[in-house]
Amino acid sequence: MTVPPEAEPVERATARSRSIPEASVARLALYLRMLGELSEQGAETVSSDELAAATGVNPAKLRKDLSFIGSYGIRGVGYEIRPLLHQLEQSLGLNHRQSVALAGVGNLGHALAGYGGFGGRGFPVAALFDVDPDLVGIHINGIVVEHIREIPRISAERGVTIGMIATPGPAAQAVCDLLVSAGVQCILNFAPVVLQVPADVEVRKVDLAVELQILAFHVARRHLAEPPQVRNGHAANGHPVNGVPHS
Amino acid sequence: MTVPPEAEPVERATARSRSIPEASVARLALYLRMLGELSEQGAETVSSDELAAATGVNPAKLRKDLSFIGSYGIRGVGYEIRPLLHQLEQSLGLNHRQSVALAGVGNLGHALAGYGGFGGRGFPVAALFDVDPDLVGIHINGIVVEHIREIPRISAERGVTIGMIATPGPAAQAVCDLLVSAGVQCILNFAPVVLQVPADVEVRKVDLAVELQILAFHVARRHLAEPPQVRNGHAANGHPVNGVPHS
DNA sequence: GCAACTTTGTGCCTGTGTTCACAAGCGGCT
DNA sequence: AGCCGCTTGTGAACACAGGCACAAAGTTGC
């Protein structure tokens, strides 16, 4: 009585993430950045223990993650940074630039447009969009803000592959539809809504309010157990261990 | 033969998250917001299927999540929105305001300080900090930016419980230490570094560059299978199903 | 060339999260 | 009043992620 004929639930999941586990991909990106820093500092090799300590990950987990992209370590020595870096970039799809379109140039969007962490890491922001006539036409970081309705044309022209949505919630779905119609396959959504997209479009959501609420939950848990307890002796000097992992 | 004497690996995990699973907490925050919207629209009850569809979550998972905070549903009917909302706020620790301190009022920090999603949801930004003398003293949203060194004093005065770090990477650890010494127990970190903190401080990290790289990875996976394939016929009208869950 | 040491790569086990499927419970209709 | 349909709450199976511990494989020193 419950489930009707139904489609295949397993097929899609396995087909989507051939080989590399979702959770590992996120950490690989972390390793990539840390390796870049180490490389700039002139290091030639790293051991899994060193890299694990630097990224706050369990060494065994790190090795397993790296094993998904091949055997680039030397037993008894560690990992040669240069080749590993190259292989990581390859595996994460960073060998060809991914142009980003950002829709919504309000408070948050403006900051994202100017955020150096994107362009510096192979994700140049190639187009900006908004509906507000006061914003359309202004320059941010050398890029002109265009009207939302131009999304399909301009995205195609500039070879946009990734969309970021930083609009208010109510506008997000419409903008999302435009991005999808422009051929964008991946969307990073900062708006507090659940986007409806075709099955072949990937959406990731960053929800700042939810992040805070998760923290608030932990604060509350603490206060149930401990008394007020203000840490007045400066613990600022010794930070014992620990970089608390998270999903 | 495998497991030696060893300490208790279970003890710590269970003690830390008495009752509610980590992953559920994140979704509970989602439900909370959606229930708020439904309540404003005048709805009295929701079924798990409806709420699940609205939040892009599996209905069974949703019911299990809600079961962690108690039985607030009526079989045959659904959930009464008002009492459920209230209970959710209680369980997530939103019954007493949590003041937030934000360190780093650069590009991203400025946007966060002005972001309406925080204050409106019970997380008033109560203090702003930076090192830059050009920024110290300016007002954002009616709050004066203070110097980093004032973190301990001002945080204590204003009852800050949550810290947000939006500084450049190299400055983050020092700022983090100051926040910890001020008694802050939870930190939301936007800087691309792994913070070292005492074991009793909770850190969550939001890493925008990593989010993009995860998306880039999926784009690359796609391109291995499919040809260029630009979606020119407008798929903008019908968004079939699907709001793609994520970890 | 061999032995001792170091570090990777991985098999296996454990725990956590997700999903299905169904019994229990509630309201409405006859 | 009793039945029927609907929806919750949850037991059980399953998939995924994490971490230990060890064999394999390399390096260094003699």
Residues of A from 88 to 147 whose C-beta is within 7 A of strand C: which are they? none
Q: What is the mean pLDDT of residues A143-167?
A: 97
Strand C footprint nucleotides (protein C-beta < 7 Å): 5-22, 24-27
As a whole number of angstroms, the distance between CA A90 and CA A94 comes to 6
pLDDT at position B242, please?
46
Q: How far is B124 from chain A (nearest CA, A)?
A: 11
As a whole number of angstroms, the distance between CA A66 and CA B153 comes to 45
Helix (H) or strand (E) holding B226: none
The full DSSP string for B102-149 is EE--SHHHHHHHH-HHHHTTT--EEEEEES-TTTTT-EETTEEEEEGG
**Closest residue (Cα, C1') to C7:** A76
Read off the tokens for B208: 């925008």
Q: In this structure, are residues A147 and A131 in contact, taking their beta carbons and an 8 Å threshold?
A: yes
Q: Where are the alpha helices (DSSP H) in chain A?
A: 9-16, 22-40, 48-55, 59-67, 81-92, 107-114, 116-119, 151-157, 169-181, 208-225
pLDDT at position B228, please?
53
pLDDT at position A226, please?
60
Q: What is the mean pLDDT of residues B71-100?
A: 94
With H, G, I as helix, E, B as strand and everything else as coil, classify residue A188: strand
Which of B124, B215, B119, B104 has the alpha carbon at shortest distance from B164? B104
Single-letter amino acid code for the residue at B153: R
As a whole number of angstroms, the distance between CA B219 and CA A143 comes to 24
Interchain CB contact of A68 with B (< 8 Å): no
- Residue B182 to residues A228, A235, B116, B151, B153, Cα–Cα distance (Å): 13, 9, 26, 7, 7
Q: In this structure, are residues A180 and A197 in contact, taking their beta carbons and an 8 Å threshold?
A: yes
The answer to whether residue B26 scores a pLDDT higher than 90 is yes
Q: In this structure, are residues B162 and B123 in contact, taking their beta carbons and an 8 Å threshold?
A: yes
Strand D footprint nucleotides (protein C-beta < 7 Å): 5-11, 15-22, 24-27
pLDDT at position B225, please?
66
- Residue B2 to residues A5, B8, B9, B57, B226, Cα–Cα distance (Å): 45, 15, 15, 39, 45
Read off the tokens for A211: 């992040």
Q: In this structure, are residues B171 and B147 in contact, taking their beta carbons and an 8 Å threshold?
A: no
pLDDT in tens, A176-229: 999 999 999 999 999 999 999 998 899 999 999 999 999 999 888 877 766 555
Total-model pTM? 0.86
B174: Cα separation from own chain's centroid: 23
CA dihedral B159, B163, B168, B169 (to 10 degrees): 130
Q: In this structure, are residues A175 and A103 in contact, taking their beta carbons and an 8 Å threshold?
A: yes
Percent of chain B with pLDDT over 90: 74
Q: What is the mean pLDDT of residues A116-128?
A: 89
pLDDT range class, residue B117, cuts 50, 70, 90? confident
pLDDT in tens, B47-73: 999 999 999 999 999 999 999 999 999
Contact check, Cβ <8 Å, B203/A243 = yes
Across the interface, of B118, B182, B195, the residue whose CB is closest to A243 is B195
pLDDT range class, residue A116, cuts 50, 70, 90? confident
The answer to whether residue B4 scores a pLDDT higher than 50 is no
